[in-house]
Amino acid sequence: MRARSNPLDSVVYIQSQVPERAMTAEILGTERSGHGVRIREDGLIATVGYLVLEAEHIWIRSREGQGATAYIVAQDFDSGITLLKPTLALEGSYLVPGLSNELAVDEPLLVYRSDHDEAFTCTLFARQEFAGRWEYLLDYALFTSPGCNDWAGAALVDQYGQLCGVGSLLMELHQDDEEELLGNMFIPIDMVSPYLDEMCEFGQRREPPKPWMGALIQEYEGKLVVTGVYPGCPADLAGIKPGDVVLSVDDEPVNNLSGIFRKVWSLGSAGVEVPLLVSSAGSLRQCLLKSIDRSIFYRSVAAAGQVN
């Protein structure tokens, strides 16, 4: 396998099957599909993590029509990128990861998807922070416009043919004139490209995992409202319920997603205790949450499902 001039040859179609008992089944569905892009000569594929999170079966199809099952090599919850490998070698090329921080606003870019014969043309709208309710925070993400449909796991490529990002979301972008514009959020590929060797060897980056609470938190009218709690996770065990409002972490007030996540992560690595002040139905209560490593929790849930 070698790098080629046509990035379309590097993109693959991904389909996954997730058991109904999976924690993310209700939110993300049990049948998921999207794209991935080969990033090394050995056939290593990068895709957006939610496509294969908790999947029990993963299928890959190349543009040449070849197909194979695939397995997860590494999941990086910090970036939201997952690495896959097919069980059989598939024909095709690969894209060299580039440097997303060198992109300029309004720079022309191309989006490649497995089931489209032509690239989708867009420009870089912004490179800025992104926070998601699933305890997810990027110092910067790549926002492009106009919006591209069928974006999940798609390859964002610069004018030199290098891979810059992996498709994650379709969302509304806010302009200075307050008009809303439909666009996409891409995860910068260089969040994982320097760590590929260690991720392939250990299944993750070799650094202390961030503490995870297991709650879905949404900003609403200046408040941090819990909209969901995963069963058996630290937030659940601490008695946190949907509808609760998080007011402070370790006695420090928090009022936005990036603030609460950064404060929790500043307390230490996974396993650290997280003191929360929560408002519930007008009353205040202190909660001491024992955080965990998110990846270990997902593996334990999968193992329990296999036993049952």
What is the pLDDT at residue 308? 47
User: Distance between CA atoms of 301 and 21, rounded to whole angstroms?
Assistant: 10
24-28, 81-85, 258-262: which has the minimum mean pLDDT? Answer: 24-28
User: Distance between CA atoms of 7 and 38, rounded to whole angstroms?
Assistant: 10
Count of Cβ atoms closer than 10 Å to residue 206 Cβ = 9
Mean of the per-residue pLDDT values of the chain: 93
pLDDT digits (tens, 9 = 90+) for 53-110: 999 999 999 988 999 999 999 999 999 999 999 999 988 899 999 999 999 999 999 9
The identity of residue 143, as a single letter, is F
54 against 307, higher pLDDT: 54
Q: Which residues face 36 on adjacent strands?
A: 12
Structure tokens at 284: 């205040």
pLDDT digits (tens, 9 = 90+) for 188-241: 999 999 999 999 999 999 999 999 999 999 999 889 999 999 999 999 999 999
Block residue for tokens 């972008």: 173
What is the pLDDT at residue 178? 67
- Give me the mean pLDDT over the 254-270 stretch: 97
Q: How confident is the model at residue 257 (pLDDT cuts 50, 70, 90)?
A: very high
- Give me the mean pLDDT over the 262-266 stretch: 98
pLDDT digits (tens, 9 = 90+) for 142-193: 999 999 999 999 999 999 999 999 999 999 998 776 677 899 999 999 999 9
Block residue for tokens 């008992």: 21
Count of Cβ atoms closer than 10 Å to residue 239 Cβ = 13
Q: How confident is the model at residue 307 (pLDDT cuts 50, 70, 90)?
A: very low
Show Cβ contacts of residue 194 under 8 Å, excluding neighbours closer than 6 positions. Answer: none
What is the pLDDT at residue 177? 67
Query: At residue 46, does pLDDT exceed 70?
Result: yes
What is the pLDDT at residue 302? 67
User: Distance between CA atoms of 45 and 12, rounded to whole angstroms?
Assistant: 8
Closest CA to 38 of 11, 58, 60: 11
